[in-house]
Chains A and B, each alone.
Chain A
């Protein structure tokens, strides 16, 4: 793992109406690391993830991704960057119910303009990697929670993003199934050198990361015993 900072957030503030969610969050994420963002409900950890991923634009502060000021891009450029460089996995897979599992995985490629045949072919490779062989033609209603979440993981990784943002990716799963998803997530990320930003309130999930930061009252604290911060 290099020590190049891939994302740097400086004094990021965000509020929902009158309610402040982030009150000056600072964070640096190193290229290739798996970072757990922890904190109690309502601490601002998901808002932070959304700001880092260019889904929300901070009210003030800077988000620098690979030398680009994410917070200063217009909507189109930000969307384009998200599609090109980022992958996403959410708590409830959020698969499109009308599409097959394979089409769901291929979706980000299709949105990026890849031909349907190529996109489906690329997507199919992920079914074996994530232990999902035979599930290609199923729709989300025909998948178990763990299978659906692995399909969602495949969809998050199919574009080979530089950064995967995962918001409580095991939140809806039992411990054993959650562990399998984390195993696969970490395995795939390590192999491809993908940076992972993992929001979780579960210590057992955070333990798969290289290090953790804690968001409390909209501020990032990273007091690490024996660990290094960039």
Chain B
């Protein structure tokens, strides 16, 4: 889960309110998938419970919760540790892609057809990201690049698999 640490990181820069944190999170990390308000407040409560942040006094004003949150030394330490750890490289061996190919071969459906439409769908998404990259600023461009490289990796896998379907069919049906 990266939302708690992302919020913690934003708080390390400066104390902030839930509403501002959500806005900042969305503009940096959540363009395709904004984080719900509820999740922000629930996350902040948990961070406070675990001693990573402290809430300030409730402030007068509209809206449900006007509290400023500040990161604690422990929170800073936890954040630093999280930041310096590599994330688990996932082998992705059990992705839906793989399962669909194997099941197609096992059940006598056309895995090649599936891979073709999957390739087209991946490329369509890559076109959208490329468009976004060309239109928007560097933050969006780099986010789009991240997506593009991952999709490209999938596509390589699709091509290699497509070239070996008959061999794979023999193995899964043996």
Residues of A within 8 A of B (CB): 40, 183, 202-204, 206-210, 212, 214, 221, 223-227
B123 at the interface (CB under 8 A from A): yes
Bitwise, B10-53 to A at CB < 8 A (1) or not (0) is 00000000000000000000000000000000000000000000
Q: Which of B59-67, B69-77, B90-98, B148-156 contacts A (4 or more CB under 8 A)?
A: B148-156
Query: CA separation between A45 and B104, bound complex, in Å?
Result: 28
How many contacting A-B pairs (Cβ < 8 A)? 47
B116 at the interface (CB under 8 A from A): yes
Q: Nearest chain A CB to B68's CB is how many angstroms away?
A: 42
B100 at the interface (CB under 8 A from A): no
Query: In this complex, what residue of B is CB-closest to A208?
Result: B130
Q: A183-B134, A207-B130, A208-B130 known; A221 and B123 CB under 8 Å?
A: no
B166 at the interface (CB under 8 A from A): no
Q: Nearest chain A CB to B120's CB is how many angstroms away?
A: 4
A contacts with B: majority SS: loop
Once the chains bind, are B126 and A221 in contact (CB under 8 Å)? no
B159 at the interface (CB under 8 A from A): yes
Once the chains bind, are B124 and A40 in contact (CB under 8 Å)? no
13 contacts between A and B (CB under 8 A): A40-B159, A204-B126, A204-B148, A204-B149, A204-B152, A207-B123, A207-B129, A207-B148, A212-B123, A223-B116, A223-B120, A224-B124, A225-B117
Once the chains bind, are B163 and A227 in contact (CB under 8 Å)? no
Once the chains bind, are B126 and A203 in contact (CB under 8 Å)? yes
Q: Nearest chain A CB to B154's CB is how many angstroms away?
A: 9
Q: Which residues of B contact A221 (CB under 8 A)?
A: 116
Q: Which residues of A contact B121 (CB under 8 A)?
A: 225-226
Query: In this complex, what residue of B is CB-closest to A210?
Result: B127
Q: Nearest chain A CB to B128's CB is how many angstroms away?
A: 9
B contacts with A: majority SS: helix
B113 at the interface (CB under 8 A from A): yes
Query: CA separation between A183 and B141, bound complex, in Å?
Result: 13
Q: Which residues of A contact B126 (CB under 8 A)?
A: 203-204, 206-207
Q: Which of B155-174 contact A (CB under 8 A)?
A: 155, 159, 163
Question: 5 closest pairs, A vs B, by CB?
Answer: A207-B126, A225-B120, A207-B130, A223-B116, A225-B121
Q: Which residues of A contact B119 (CB under 8 A)?
A: 214
Query: CA separation between A11 and B127, bound complex, in Å?
Result: 29
Once the chains bind, are B163 and A203 in contact (CB under 8 Å)? no
Q: A203-B123, A203-B155, A207-B130 are known; give 16 further A-B pairs, CB within 8 A.
A: A40-B159, A40-B163, A204-B130, A204-B148, A204-B149, A204-B152, A206-B126, A207-B127, A207-B129, A208-B127, A212-B123, A214-B116, A214-B119, A221-B116, A225-B121, A226-B120
Q: Nearest chain B CB to A116's CB is how many angstroms away?
A: 37
Residue from A40, A203, A214, A223 within 8 A of B122 (CB atoms) = A203
Query: CA separation between A203 and B127, bound complex, in Å?
Result: 10
Q: Which residues of B contact A225 (CB under 8 A)?
A: 117, 120-121, 124
Query: CA separation between A203 and B148, bound complex, in Å?
Result: 9
**Listed residue (A210, A212, A214, A225) with the most chain B CB atoms within 10 angstroms of its CB:** A225
Query: CA separation between A208 and B148, bound complex, in Å?
Result: 12
Query: CA separation between A145 and B43, bound complex, in Å?
Result: 50
Q: Which residues of A contact B120 (CB under 8 A)?
A: 212, 223-227
Q: Nearest chain B CB to A39's CB is how many angstroms away?
A: 9
